[in-house]
Amino acid sequence: MLLMRDWMKQEVLTLGPEASAFEGLRLCRERRIRHIPIVEDDRLVGIVSDRDIRSASSPLGDPQRVDVLKRTRLEDMMTRKVITTAPENTIVHAAQEMYERKIESLPVVSGEKLVGIVTSADVMRALVAVIGVHEPGHSRIAVQARKPGDLAEVTGIIQNRGVDIFSVLSSPGKVTSPDRTLIFQVATRDPTNVIRSLEEAGYDVHWWHHLQ
């Protein structure tokens, strides 16, 4: 499934707002994470990144740097208006939110309670699984669609050749044009017969390649 609850990390590393920037930076480095949700009484109240912490501290080499980090509270630098998502939302929603808002993680909340977190790496992992990058014995075929209904027709032609379709991606053309490229991942090592049938039906097959 492509729901957030299927891809989110459920064991989330968190800190309280009273924790120091020193604790936050140490947690980021030791656990190799870039974002720390800030939780108070089981409620998500903010989020802080390793970049936030570094920006708020003095430069490397400053003898006072550690003392400054230990005196600074995370509540003084955390983002309070956190962009979140719900477990029932899709991973596609997460990808769109991250892209449009230029963020790299989304805390997952149920009500006000933090139940997980999804990062850009999780989104990439999900999308890779969807398009079947690691499916040996499959092939990809790029077909040009020019009118409404082409997706259904091309799908029917492929299925009539007895070939299963693993996934379909659509690459849109110009906004004012119905043209788009349909990329089918099909469960066959040799799509020659499929390509021949598509071309006989008048479709342009731009390219195909076999997945090792």
pLDDT at 170 over 80: yes
**pLDDT score, position 19:** 97
CB neighbour list of residue 95: distance below 8 Å, 6 or more residues apart: 123, 127
Domain ranges for the chain, please list them.
Answer: 4-128, 133-210
- DSSP class of residue 11 equals S
Q: Domain 133-210: which topology?
A: Alpha-Beta Plaits (3.30.70)
**Going by CATH, does the domain composed of 4-128 fall within 1.10.20.10?**
no
CB neighbour list of residue 71: distance below 8 Å, 6 or more residues apart: 20
Mean pLDDT of 171-175: 62
pLDDT in tens, 74-118: 999 999 999 999 999 998 889 999 999 999 999 999 988 999 999
pLDDT in tens, 19-56: 999 999 999 999 999 999 999 988 999 999 999 998 88
Cα-based distances in Å from 212 to 20, 143, 187, 208, 209: 49, 21, 12, 13, 9
Backbone dihedral region of 36: left (phi > 0), alpha (psi from -120 to 50 degrees) or beta? beta
pLDDT at 197 over 90: yes
